[in-house]
C-alpha cells in the first residue's frame, strides 16, 4: 500500500539528468515515489543535495502525510539558548524546504499550502530567536523583567511573510519595534538592547554556515530605513507614519501582522496605524502612486517588454508584482470604507474585491489563476539552486531545465504558455494604472480658451502632482464638455466646480480611474450648476457614487439610522461623531439629488427620500446629543424628551434645500433636578439640551452643516421656551394657541425619543385636533392669514411655485384647514385633502383641481431646489436645467410651462377662495 505521501501524488517533474535522478531515487528507496524523486533530483541540484544530506529523515517523512511530517519538524523546535538555537533552526529549514519542495512538485500541496508551510517555519524561527536573545539581554542586566512577552519587543512580518505567502527562497521582510511605555526611565538602555537583539537575530537567521542558513532577513521596510536604528520605539514609528508615511508604506502595511515577541503590543500598534493605512474616503490618488512606482521599478531595472529568457517574473511586465499592485491599490482605494477588503492574502483579496463589486468576477478568477501559475513557476526558478532569483534563465538550456522541473516535456509549449500568461496579466492590469488611450482635446473658442487658461491659478492645481494628473485628464474632460447640450454653459459650470475645489489630486485621480464619473460631473455641470458648486465644496461625496451601493434601491429610514449610528459609534469623540454623521448625510443627500436629476426618481419620490434621510439623522443624532449632555448634567429626568417634526418634515416631504421645523416636548415625571455632576433644574435642562441639538444640526464644520433648524412653531413662537413640557404643551394648545398653531399641529409627527413619550405626544395631538375641529373662527382666521401671507411674501417671478395664491404654501394651508375641521390625523397634503372630501368640505372635482396645482408646483419647486437655491429663472438655469424641469413637469417648452402653471394655480386659488373668502374674514 502506498504511503500517505505517495497516495496523493498528482504530478511530477521531469529529469534533465535522468542518471543522477535515478541514482538519488535509489538512495531514498521508496518505489512509489521514485518518479517524483528522480524528476526532482534530476533537475534541481539544490533539492538533490538536501536529499543526500537528510536521507535518513526523508525516508521516515515520506511514510507520513506531509502535514504530519511538517508538524513533527516544527514541534521539535523548542526554546533553546541562543548559542544552540542556530543549528537547530538550520536543520529545520533544510527539512521543511525539502518537504515543501516535494509536496509542491508532486501536486500534493496547493500553492497556498506550500507558502503557508514556509511561513509557519519563519514565524517559529523568528519567535524563538527573539525570545532567546531578549533573555540574553535580561540575564546581562541590560533589560529589566517587565512581565511582557519579549519585554515588549515585537516583530512585524511584512510582505509575503505577513500574508503567509513566502516563496521558496524568500527573504523575510521584518519591522522590529518595542513598546517604550514598558521602559520609562531606561529608554536609551532599552533601545540599545533591542537594537542588539535585532542585529543578533538577523545574523542568526541569515548567516551562511556549514549547516546552511535559515532565512535571509530584510529590515529595510522600517520607517526611514537609511537613518533609523534597526529597532524603533512604537511611538517613533507612529509619529513617522503620521507625518511622512507614503503610499507604498500604506500598501506594505496591508500585509503586516505581528509574528514574534509581544503579539498583543503589535496588534495595538497596527490598530493605531489603521487611519494611516485605511483612508476613510476612497483614495484614488493611490493609483497614480502605484503607477509611478511600477514605472520607476521598470526603468531602474530595465524591465520593459515581455520575453522568456531573462524575464523577471516578479517585477517585469505581466508579472507577479503587477497582480499584487493591482490588488493592493484597489484595497487602498476602498478598504477604508469597507473592512471586508482588508485581507492580507492576494488571492483572498481578489475574491473579496469581486464579491464587493470592485472588479468583475471573471477578472478576479483569471488573475487568481495567473497569480498561482506565476508563483509556482517562481518556486521552480528558486528550487534549482536555492537562489534568490525571480528571473527566468538567460539561456535556452536553462529555460529547458525550468520547463522540465515544471513537468513540461515540450519546451516550446512551456514558452508559449508563459508568454500568454504575461500578456494576459499585462492586458488586465495595465488599463487600471493607465486607463484609456490619448484623447485629443477639442478646438476651443477664444472665450472658452480664456476660461481654461485660468485653471492654472486655482487651488486644486497648486501642486505638481495635481497638475500631472490633471494634464492627462484635461483632454477627456474638455471633449466630454464639448458634447454637452450647451458646451459654453457646461464649461462655465465646470469652471465653477474646479475653482471651488480646495485640492485636486484625489478628485482628479478618481476621475481618471472612473470614466463614467467624468460623464456624471459633466452632466451635473451642464444641468445643475448649484449641485456642481456643492460638489466642489464636498468632493468626498463622489465616494458614494462608486462605493457599490449608489444605484441600489433606497434602504429606508431604519437602515439609514443604523448606518448613521454605526458611523458615529466608530468615532473617538463628540466632534468626530458629528463629522461622521455629516459624511453619511451628505452621501445620501447627494444620491437623492443625482437620482432625481437623472430621472431615476421623480419629485415626489425625492421628497419622501429627503424626509426619510432627515428622520434617520434625527433618530441617530438625538441619543448621541443626549449622552454627551448627560455626561455633564446627568440623564434626562423622567421620560426624557421627544422631537416633533413639524411642517414639511412632519408631512414627510422635503426638497433638496429644506430646513427642519422642530418642536421639543419633555416629561420630567415630577422630577425637579437632574442627577449629574452639574445638576440642572428641569426647564433649563431641557432648554439647554434642545440648544445642544440645534447646535449639532446647524454648526458649520469641515464636513458642512446638517440642516438649518426652525423652531418658530413651538408655543408662543420666538418668545416661548425652546423646550416645553408635554402637559404645558397640551394646556397651551387647548386654551391659548392661535388657529395657525392648531393648523400646524395637523402636520406634527413624533420623530425621535422614548416610544411611550412619542405615543403620548400623538395622543395629545389628536385630542387637540378633536377639541378644536369645530372652531367657528377657523375659516375667518385662515382667510386673514392668507391676506397677510400674500402681502408679506408675494410671488417672485413667473415660475414661483411656493408663494402666492393657488401655490404650494396656499394649498398646504388649505389642506390643514380641511384636516383640522375633520379632526383627521392625516399629515400629508394629499391625505388631508382626501379627508376634506370624505368629510364633505370639498367636492372630488374641487380636490382634483387643487391636487393638479399641487403636483405641478411640487415638481417645479423640488426640481428648482436641485438646480439652485435662488429664485428660478428659466433663462439662467441653462439648457440642461430647462430640460430637466420640463421633463419633470411634463411640458414641451418653457412657454407651455409658464402657461400651465398660471392656469393650474389660478384654478386652485379660485377653489380655495370660495372656501376661505375675504368676506368671511371681514364678517368674522
- How is residue 765 written as a grid cell? 395631538
Cβ neighbours of residue 650 closer than 8 Å, sequence gap 6 or more = 644, 661, 747, 748, 749, 827
Between 176-190, 250-264, 419-433, the lowest mean confidence (pLDDT) is in 419-433
923, pLDDT greater than 70: no
pLDDT band at 176 (very low <50, low <70, confident <90, very high): very high
Q: CA 4, CA 70: separation in Å to the nearest integer?
A: 14
**590 Cα distance to chain centroid:** 16
**When comparing pLDDT for 37 and 185, which is higher?**
37
The conformation of residue 150, written as its DSSP 8-state character, comes to: G
Q: CA 676, CA 679: separation in Å to the nearest integer?
A: 5
Cβ neighbours of residue 883 closer than 8 Å, sequence gap 6 or more = 485, 527
Q: CA 166, CA 114: separation in Å to the nearest integer?
A: 8
SS3 419: helix
554, pLDDT greater than 80: yes
- Residue 438 has what pLDDT? 47
The burial of 628, by beta-carbon neighbours within 10 Å (0-12 exposed, 13-18 middle, 19 or more buried), is given as: middle
**When comparing pLDDT for 837 and 3, which is higher?**
837
Q: CA 498, CA 537: separation in Å to the nearest integer?
A: 10
Residue written as grid cell 392625516:
826
The pLDDT tens digits of the residues spanning 683-741 come to: 999 999 999 999 999 998 876 789 999 998 888 777 778 999 999 999 999 999 999 99
Cβ neighbours of residue 710 closer than 8 Å, sequence gap 6 or more = 647, 659, 660, 661, 662
The conformation of residue 704, written as its DSSP 8-state character, comes to: B
As a whole number, mean pLDDT of residues 414-419 equals 95
Q: CA 256, CA 342: separation in Å to the nearest integer?
A: 11
The pLDDT tens digits of the residues spanning 499-517 come to: 777 766 767 776 766 666 7
Between 40-54, 362-376, 512-526, 893-907, the lowest mean confidence (pLDDT) is in 512-526
8 Å CB contact between 44 and 60: no
As a whole number, mean pLDDT of residues 358-364 equals 87
pLDDT band at 922 (very low <50, low <70, confident <90, very high): very low
The pLDDT tens digits of the residues spanning 207-254 come to: 999 999 999 999 999 998 888 999 999 999 999 988 888 778 888 899
Q: Cα dihedral angle (345, 350, 351, 353), rounded to 10 degrees? A: 120
470, pLDDT greater than 70: yes
SS3 391: strand
As a whole number, mean pLDDT of residues 411-435 equals 84
- Residue 94 has what pLDDT? 96
**When comparing pLDDT for 920 and 376, which is higher?**
376
pLDDT band at 280 (very low <50, low <70, confident <90, very high): low
247: nearest Cα among 360, 333, 153: 333
**How high does pLDDT run on average in the chain?**
88
Question: Which residues are bridge partners to 662 per DSSP?
Answer: 645
919, pLDDT greater than 70: no
- Predicted TM-score (pTM) of the model is 0.63
Q: What are phi and psi of 912, to 5 degrees?
A: -65, -40
- How is residue 189 written as a grid cell? 538602555
- Residue 796 has what pLDDT? 76
The pLDDT tens digits of the residues spanning 631-646 come to: 999 999 999 999 999 9
Residue written as grid cell 465653477:
496
**447 Cα distance to chain centroid:** 40
The burial of 494, by beta-carbon neighbours within 10 Å (0-12 exposed, 13-18 middle, 19 or more buried), is given as: buried
The pLDDT tens digits of the residues spanning 564-607 come to: 999 999 888 999 999 999 988 988 888 898 888 878 899 999 99
Q: CA 329, CA 286: separation in Å to the nearest integer?
A: 6
The number of C-alpha atoms within 13 Å of 360 and in the hemisphere containing its C-beta is 6
Could you tell me whether strands 660-667 and 640-646 are parallel, antiparallel, or unpaired per DSSP bridges?
antiparallel
Amino acid at each position: 500500500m502506498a504511503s500517505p505521501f505517495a497516495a496523493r501524488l498528482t504530478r511530477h517533474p521531469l529529469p534533465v539528468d535522468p542518471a543522477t535522478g535515478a541514482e538519488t531515487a535509489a538512495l531514498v528507496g521508496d518505489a512509489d515515489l521514485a518518479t517524483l524523486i528522480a524528476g526532482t533530483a534530476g533537475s534541481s541540484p539544490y533539492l538533490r543535495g538536501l536529499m543526500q544530506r537528510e536521507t535518513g529523515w526523508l525516508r521516515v517523512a515520506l511514510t507520513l502525510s506531509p502535514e504530519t511530517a511538517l508538524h513533527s519538524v516544527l514541534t521539535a523546535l523548542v526554546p533553546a539558548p541562543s548559542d544552540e538555537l542556530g543549528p537547530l533552526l538550520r536543520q529545520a529549514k533544510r527539512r521543511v524546504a525539502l518537504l515543501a519542495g516535494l509536496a509542491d512538485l508532486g501536486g500534493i500541496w496547493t500553492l497556498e499550502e506550500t507558502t503557508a508551510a514556509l511561513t509557519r517555519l519563519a514565524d517559529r524561527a523568528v519567535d524563538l530567536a527573539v525570545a532567546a536573545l531578549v533573555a540574553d539581554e535580561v540575564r546581562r542586566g541590560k533589560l529589566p523583567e517587565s512581565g511582557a512577552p519579549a519585554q515588549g519587543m515585537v516583530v512585524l512580518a511584512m510582505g509575503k511573510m505577513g500574508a503567509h505567502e513566502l516563496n521558496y527562497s524568500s527573504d523575510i521582510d521584518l519591522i522590529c519595534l518595542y513598546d517604550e511605555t514598558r521602559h520609562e526611565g531606561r529608554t536609551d538602555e532599552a533601545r540599545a538592547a533591542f537594537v542588539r537583539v535585532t542585529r543578533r537575530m538577523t545574523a542568526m537567521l541569515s548567516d551562511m554556515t556549514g549547516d546552511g542558513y535559515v532565512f535571509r532577513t530584510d529590515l529595510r521596510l522600517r520607517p526611514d530605513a537609511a537613518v533609523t536604528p534597526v529597532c524603533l520605539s512604537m511611538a517613533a514609528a507612529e509619529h513617522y507614519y503620521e507625518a511622512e508615511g507614503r503610499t507604498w508604506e500604506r500598501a506594505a502595511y496591508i500585509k503586516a501582522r505581528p509574528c514574534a515577541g509581544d503579539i498583543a503590543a503589535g496588534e495595538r500598534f497596527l490598530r493605531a496605524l489603521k487611519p494611516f493605512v485605511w483612508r476613510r474616503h476612497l483614495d484614488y490618488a493611490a493609483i497614480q502612486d502605484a503607477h509611478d512606482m511600477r514605472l520607476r521599478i521598470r526603468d531602474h531595472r530595465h524591465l520593459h517588454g515581455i520575453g522568456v529568457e531573462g524575464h523577471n517574473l516578479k517585477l517585469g511586465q505581466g508579472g507577479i508584482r503587477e497582480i499584487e499592485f493591482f490588488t493592493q491599490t484597489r484595497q487602498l482605494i476602498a478598504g477604508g470604507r469597507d473592512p471586508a477588503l482588508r485581507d492580507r492574502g492576494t488571492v483572498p483579496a481578489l475574491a473579496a474585491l469581486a464579491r464587493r463589486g470592485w472588479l468583475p468576477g471573471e477578472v478576479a478568477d483569471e488573475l487568481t489563476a495567473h497569480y498561482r501559475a506565476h508563483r509556482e513557476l517562481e518556486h521552480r526558478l528558486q528550487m534549482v539552486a536555492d537562489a534568490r532569483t525571480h528571473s527566468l534563465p538567460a539561456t535556452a538550456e536553462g529555460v529547458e531545465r525550468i520547463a522540465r522541473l515544471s513537468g513540461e516535456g515540450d519546451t516550446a509549449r512551456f514558452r508559449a504558455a508563459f508568454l500568454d500568461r504575461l500578456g494576459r496579466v499585462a492586458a488586465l492590469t495595465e488599463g487600471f494604472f493607465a486607463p484609456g488611450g490619448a484623447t485629443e482635446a477639442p478646438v476651443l473658442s477664444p472665450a472658452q480658451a480664456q476660461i481654461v487658461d485660468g485653471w492654472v491659478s486655482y487651488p486644486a492645481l497648486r501642486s505638481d502632482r495635481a497638475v500631472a494628473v490633471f494634464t492627462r485628464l484635461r483632454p477627456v474632460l474638455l471633449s466630454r464638455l464639448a458634447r454637452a447640450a450647451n458646451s459654453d454653459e457646461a464649461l462655465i459650470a465646470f469652471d465653477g466646480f474646479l475653482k471651488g475645489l480646495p485640492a485636486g489630486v484625489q478628485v482628479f485621480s478618481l476621475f481618471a480611474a472612473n470614466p463614467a464619473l467624468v460623464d456624471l460631473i459633466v452632466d451635473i455641470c451642464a444641468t445643475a450648476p448649484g449641485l456642481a458648486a456643492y460638489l466642489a465644496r464636498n468632493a468626498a461625496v463622489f465616494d458614494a457614487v462608486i462605493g457599490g451601493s449608489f444605484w441600489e434601491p433606497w434602504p429606508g429610514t431604519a437602515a439609514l439610522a443604523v448606518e448613521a449610528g454605526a458611523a458615529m459609534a466608530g468615532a473617538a469623540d463628540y466632534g468626530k461623531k458629528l463629522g461622521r454623521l455629516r459624511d453619511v448625510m451628505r452621501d445620501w443627500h447627494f444620491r437623492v439629488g443625482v437620482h432625481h436629476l437623472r430621472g431615476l426618481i421623480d419629485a415626489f419620490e425625492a421628497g419622501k427620500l429627503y424626509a426619510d434621510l432627515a428622520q434617520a439623522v434625527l433618530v441617530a443624532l438625538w441619543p448621541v446629543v443626549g449622552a454627551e449632555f448627560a455626561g455633564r448634567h446627568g440623564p434626562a429626568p423622567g421620560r426624557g424628551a421627544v422631537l416633533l417634526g413639524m411642517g414639511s418634515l412632519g408631512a414627510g416631504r422635503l426638497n433638496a434645500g429644506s430646513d427642519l421645523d422642530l418642536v421639543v416636548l419633555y416629561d420630567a415625571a415630577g422630577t425637579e433636578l437632574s442627577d449629574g455632576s452639574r445638576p440642572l433644574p428641569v426647564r433649563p435642562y431641557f432648554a439647554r439640551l434642545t440648544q445642544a441639538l440645534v447646535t449639532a444640526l446647524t454648526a458649520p464644520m469641515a464636513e458642512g452643516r446638517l440642516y438649518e433648524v426652525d423652531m418658530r412653531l413651538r408655543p408662543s413662537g420666538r418668545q416661548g421656551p425652546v423646550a416645553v413640557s408635554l402637559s404645558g404643551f397640551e394646556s397651551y394648545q387647548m386654551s391659548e394657541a392661535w388657529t395657525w398653531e392648531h393648523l400646524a399641529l395637523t402636520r406634527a409627527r413624533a420623530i425621535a425619543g422614548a416610544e411611550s413619550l412619542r405615543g403620548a405626544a400623538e395622543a395629545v395631538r389628536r385630542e387637540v385636533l378633536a377639541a378644536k375641529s369645530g372652531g367657528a373662527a377657523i375659516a375667518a382666521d385662515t382667510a386673514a392669514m392668507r391676506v397677510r401671507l400674500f402681502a408679506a411674501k408675494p410671488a417672485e417671478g413667473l415660475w414661483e411655485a411656493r408663494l402666492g395664491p393657488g401655490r404650494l404654501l396656499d394649498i398646504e394651508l388649505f389642506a390643514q384647514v380641511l384636516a383640522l375641521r375633520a379632526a383627521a390625523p392625516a399629515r400629508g397634503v394629499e391625505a388631508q385633502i382626501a379627508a376634506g372630501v370624505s368629510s364633505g368640505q370639498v367636492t372630488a372635482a374641487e380636490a382634483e383641481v387643487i391636487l393638479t396645482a399641487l403636483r405641478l408646483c411640487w415638481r417645479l419647486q423640488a426640481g428648482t431646489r436641485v438646480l439652485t437655491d435662488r429664485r428660478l429663472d428659466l433663462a439662467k438655469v441653462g439648457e440642461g436645467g430647462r430640460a430637466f424641469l420640463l421633463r419633470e413637469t411634463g411640458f414641451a417648452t418653457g412657454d407651455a410651462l409658464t402657461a400651465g402653471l398660471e392656469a393650474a394655480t389660478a384654478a386652485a386659488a379660485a377653489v380655495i377662495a370660495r372656501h376661505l373668502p375675504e368676506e368671511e374674514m371681514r364678517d368674522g
